[in-house]
Amino acid sequence: MSTEVQISLRTIASINPAKGEILREFQCAGEAEVHAAVDRAYAAQSEWSQLGVRRRISILREFQRLLQEKKSDVARLITREAGKPYVEALLTEVMVVLDAARFLIENAYRLLRDEPVPHGNLAMKTKAGRIVREPHGVIGIISPWNYPFSIPATEAMSAMVAGNAVVLKPSEFTSLVALELEKLLHTAGTPKEIFQVIPGDGATGAALIDSGINKLIFTGSVATGKKIAQAAAGRLLPVVLELGGKDPMIVLDDADVEVASSGAIWGAFVNAGQACLSVERCYVHRSLYEPFVAVCARKAKQLRVGDGMNQETEIGPLIHERQLRNVEAHLEDAVSRGARVLAGGTRLRGLGPNFYAPTVLANVNHEMRIMREETFGPVLPIMAFDDDDEAVRLANDSEYGLAASVWTQDRTRGDALARRIHAGTVMVNDSVSCFGISEAPHGGVKASGIGRTHGRFGLEEMVRIKYVDSDRMPGVKKIWWYAYGAAFTRQMEGFLDLQFARGLRQRLRGLVRSAGVFRGKKL
């Protein structure tokens, strides 16, 4: 049996995590299929680029209209395939994409048009320069399962409005949502070759990296991101890597316990904790620690866990068994090292195969895995600190640096502390919602990745920067051309004094010495 036939027989299944039912099975795209998709994208991309930004924006506007009309159908599909509550699918997926489209519709033309570059050097005043933004060509996107609609859609829209073609390899767990995105874009007028979905597993993603794409946008684990970076380095493939986080939440001594605790509960448990922006470490000033952990435990116990299609559900299932085992391993390690379980800490087998009770932990420390490794589950570990400096030190004591939050009633104090935290985003008195701010860049530092998506900086990732310079006096030889000589040297010394000397007298002498430089004979 040939290798190609063997590859074509690989299959993946989309499974409802709340019920364990198979929604659909897919044949994995093999290497030949991936390369063919990229070739089709290349063939169509030039015409797409020449279409112009305004025409591409009109297609994006139609996509936005269609998504608004079909918002409920899309949200229900997300819930069935990813498990999150229906209302969360509306808010954290559909609304995010609608607003990202709004941002690009309003701003893409302005941000992508040529930008004039002024020339301060007197010798260059006869030139007119401009920055030209050109599409990379074909951009590959490898997207995760936890936000299967909003992550690939926001990235793809930016790429395509900039004139690129996109080939998307979704998570093997959420292919149906990706195909729904493809359907909406095609119905809106996006050519089929300009946005293509290739369902598959890790081998499919590897084939996409090796296919000759011009840039890769990847969201996923640090381990996989490092492998992708190594593979991309072999041919200097530019990448944007969003690799998760261990986001800290700092509750200062003047914070409102009632408000901050509600923020902690939502920040830790939204999407069952399966968000790279989740509150995964909570640091509370010692003066508030005991009342804070008590109210968090009480609120966690009140949360309603169940099938996301039930409108009363606040926390859905985890995506699969492996994720549950990771949460259990972190919890077991923490308890063995002295952590106290104040709420949760168990599977909810009566609800289905992948449900876990929202869990609050006290007495944690940085020796525990749950304070150092990404848990990606419904667990809120809370630790005490004594002063602001200690809080910043604890927050920065991590290999991750995606986002963080500071909670205080003193905005000036909060902003000052935010500047000291090593993270791509720091929110004061909120968390997680920064992903829904279309104008704001999304991305991190340290092991949380490189590059940005969303907003102006995310759009800049989708283009190559070219500088174009036109001389306004094409019939005049330039002063810096040959021939050189003693007289020319004296003139240039004076010309530099004229421009850059500190004193007026020295500048005037430079003016005299440089006289004649523009009349000198050139080859």
Active-site amino acid positions: 242, 276
Alpha-carbon gap, residue 452 to 87, rounded angstroms = 27
Contact between 108 and 57 under an 8 Å Cβ cutoff? The reply is: yes
Closest C-alpha among 321, 299, 303, 320 to residue 312: 303
Strand locations in 81-187 (E)? 115-117, 127-135, 138-142, 165-169
Distances (CA, A) of 364 to 9, 59, 372: 47, 51, 11
Length of the chain: 523
Tokens representing 231 are 């593979």
Cα→Cα distances 37→44, 159, 171, 269, 421, Å: 11, 17, 18, 38, 42
Angle, CA 384 vertex, CA 382 and CA 387 arms, to 5°: 140
- Per DSSP, the three-state class of 216 is strand
Residue 501 to residue 499: CA distance in whole angstroms? 6
Residue 211 and residue 201: Cα distance in Å, rounded? 15
Q: DSSP string spanning 471-517?
A: ES-TTS--TTSSP--HHHHHHHHHHHHHHH-SSHHHHHHHHHHHTTT
Question: What values do phi and psi take at 450, rounded to 5?
Answer: -140, 150
What's the CA gap between 490 and 464, in Å, rounded? Answer: 41
241: Cα separation from own chain's centroid: 8
- Report how far residue 154's alpha carbon sits from residue 220's, in angstroms, rounded to the nearest whole number: 16
Kindly provide the b/e burial profile for residues 282-317, where b requires at least 16 CB atoms within 10 angstroms of the residue's own CB: bbbbeebbeebbebbbebbeebebbbbbeeebbbbb
Nearest to 319 by CA among 428, 172, 190: 172
Measured between alpha carbons, how far is 21 from 12 in angstroms, rounded to an integer?
14
C-beta separation of 495 from 123 below 8 A:
yes
Torsion of CA 229, 233, 236, 239, to 10 degrees: 0
